[in-house]
Amino acid sequence: MTTLKAVRGTRDLLPPETALWNRIEATARAVFARYNFGEIRTPIFEDTGLFARGVGEETDIVSKEMYTWEDRARAQSEKSQSLTLRPENTAGVVRAYIEHKLGETGQLQKLYYIGPQFRRERPQKGRYRQFSQIGAEVIGPPSAGSESPLRDAEVLEMLATLLDELGISGWTLHINSVGSAQDRARYNDVLRAALVPIASQMCEDCQRRAVTNPLRVLDCKVPEDQHLIDALPKISDSLDEASKNHFAQVLAALDAAQVPYTRNHRLVRGLDYYTRTTFEFTHGGLGAQNALLGGGRYDGLSEAIGGPKAPGIGFAMGEDRLVLTLLAQESAPPDKLHAFIAPLGDAKNEQALTRINAAALALARELRRAGLSIELGDGSFRLKKSFEAADKVARRIVIMGEDELASGILTVKDFASGTQTKVPRAELAAFLAG
Ligand code: HAM
């Protein structure tokens, strides 16, 4: 029989790495709470139309990368429906915002999420078909201040703080403004005209994009095209006064908060809903897939999917990429357990073995309830085997044989110092915690 494996682009996360995932998520939740964000959990699949209208029919995500299927009706009262595994979560959050009429509260909604997303991309280091995002969105009616450049700067300052608290050093914040929908339309025309004389010297993708979606030319990574792209007109020259002013205020607030950034005129991002501020945080250690996170403003998204005017800004971090970065940075071995309890029995005497194993379980329970991390061996192990097993996972070994059981005094050996100590049972928890 052929053995079944995890599907290409998906993977199992195993300990000890999952401890790192948990630490990242706990740190993110703690930071989000300090900035007054609450958690939202939306479904993993949605009506396909949400992504087509929200993210944009012409984007790579929607046109090539979605997992979509026809969900057949199971009863006469049901219609069949095209469903899609979410490739990102902003459209789902905005759908929920509209569906639950959150705008009617008149307040800014500050929502965060942690969970899997699905894109049928070519798998490589840092790029998977199921990956996890930690993201947040700030959205609300304009009267709640949702359009203010202060919101953009605050989100970026929060991200800088979160990355610092996660212990990720050496990130770069790239920032740009793609202006309003009108600014973008104007820039598209400027770009299309500028590409006419040079497109034939560019890669095939760019030749196609020059006609269908000129903005996407700026994403091209083909080395030979770069000098041509760098010389193209910049989007900053196509912004109207209001957009320029908005962006200047975002940058001024970042300067005041001392959040370092690099202006990147080519950062237009691959999703259609963006307006004004767009950004990415990159990290050199990641290789080709170097974006730790991306985000921006989406002032027209709610209306594009049938909702009220609800400007917003948000981001999503690639959790897989945060883990890769931290694994590459961290050289410290994972924390060891407080102790390994080694019951020492006589494998040939079943009654004695049962008694010593049971006593060891009772001791382990006592210590775990006192808050200590404990691994429990087995009375049938030879002492050497217990020592080897203990040394791998714990700082100390506690020996529990017939003598120890009778006297209530346990033998504890510390692996780092090599010292052996006799400790009365009543003092054991305090001793191991030290
Ligand atoms: P995005 O740039 O498509 O934006 O994805 C955000 C981040 O998710 C990327 O920077 C990357 O770290 C991670 N990511 C994307 N695709 C993969 C993949 N195949 N494997 C591993 N990690 C990946 C969005 O998704 C927007 N919804 C962000 C946003 C929120 N904009 C406004 N609000």
Which ranges constitute the DSSP H helices of 305-347?
319-329
What is residue 286's predicted lDDT score, i.e. its pLDDT?
86
Distance of CA 133 from the midpoint of ligand 1 (Å): 7
Q: What token pair was written down for 313?
A: 């800004």
**Hey, what amino acid is at 431?**
F
Q: How much is the pLDDT for 58?
A: 82
Residue 90 near ligand 1, beta carbon < 6 Å: yes
Indicate if ligand 1 lies below 6 Å from the C-beta of 279.
no
Nearest CA among 365, 343, 339, 364 for reference residue 354: 343
Q: What residues form DSSP beta bridges with 275?
A: 297
The separation between CA 196 and the C-alpha centre of its own chain, rounded to angstroms, equals 40
Mean pLDDT for the chain overall: 95
- Residue from 21, 133, 282 to probe ligand 1 pocket by mutation (most atoms less than 8 Å from CB): 133
Pocket test for ligand 1, best of 118, 128, 131 (most atoms within 8 A of CB): 131
* 316 neighbors 279 (Cβ within 8 angstroms): no
Ligand 1 within 6 A of CB of 9: no
Which of 287-291, 298-302, 327-331 has the least mean pLDDT?
Answer: 327-331
pLDDT at 331: 65
Q: What is the mean pLDDT of residues 109-121?
A: 98
pLDDT category at 348 given cuts 50, 70, 90 is confident
Q: Find how far residue 97's CA is from the centre of its chain.
A: 22
Give the contacts of 43 (CB within 8 A, at least 6 positions apart): 86, 92
The answer to whether the beta carbons of residues 119 and 129 sit under 8 Å apart is yes
State the distance from the centre of ligand 1 to the C-alpha of 203, rounded, in angstroms: 25
Asked if residue 154 has its Cβ within 6 Å of ligand 1, the reply is no
Instruction: Catalogue the long-range contacts made by 9-12 (C-beta closer than 8 Å, 24 or more residues apart).
Output: 9/120, 9/121, 9/123, 9/128, 9/129, 9/130, 10/128, 10/129, 10/130, 11/128, 11/130
Closest residue by Cα to residue 103 from 142, 46, 135: 142
Instruction: Give the pLDDT confidence of 230-283 residue by residue, as tens digits.
Output: 999 999 999 999 999 999 999 999 999 999 999 999 998 889 899 999 999 999
Residue 98 reports pLDDT greater than 70? yes
pLDDT of residue 134: 98
pLDDT of residue 330: 72
Instruction: Look at 271 and 89; give whichever has higher pLDDT.
Output: 89
Residue where the block lists tokens 């939202």: 40
**Residue to probe by mutation, ligand 1, list 162, 321, 326, most atoms within 8 Å of CB:** 321
Nearest-CA neighbor of 94 among 302, 270, 352?
Answer: 302
419 — phi, psi (to 5°)? -80, 150
Q: What is the pLDDT of residues 366-409, one digit of tens each?
A: 999 999 999 999 999 999 999 999 999 999 999 999 999 999 99
Asked if the model's pLDDT at residue 76 lies above 90, the reply is no
Check if 273 has its Cβ closer than 6 Å to any atom of ligand 1.
Answer: no
pLDDT tens by residue, 134-181: 999 999 999 999 999 999 999 999 999 999 999 999 999 999 999 999
Nearest CA owner, ligand 1 atom 25 = 88
Confidence of residue 335 (pLDDT cuts 50, 70, 90): confident
- The per-residue pLDDT for range 183-229, each reduced to its tens digit, is 999 999 999 999 999 999 999 999 998 998 899 899 888 999 999 99
Amino acid at position 96, single letter: A
pLDDT at 333 over 70: no
pLDDT band at residue 332, thresholds of 50, 70 and 90?
Answer: low
pLDDT tens sequence across 39-49: 999 999 999 99
Q: How many residues does the chain have?
A: 434
> Ligand 1 mean position to 250 CA, how many Å?
22
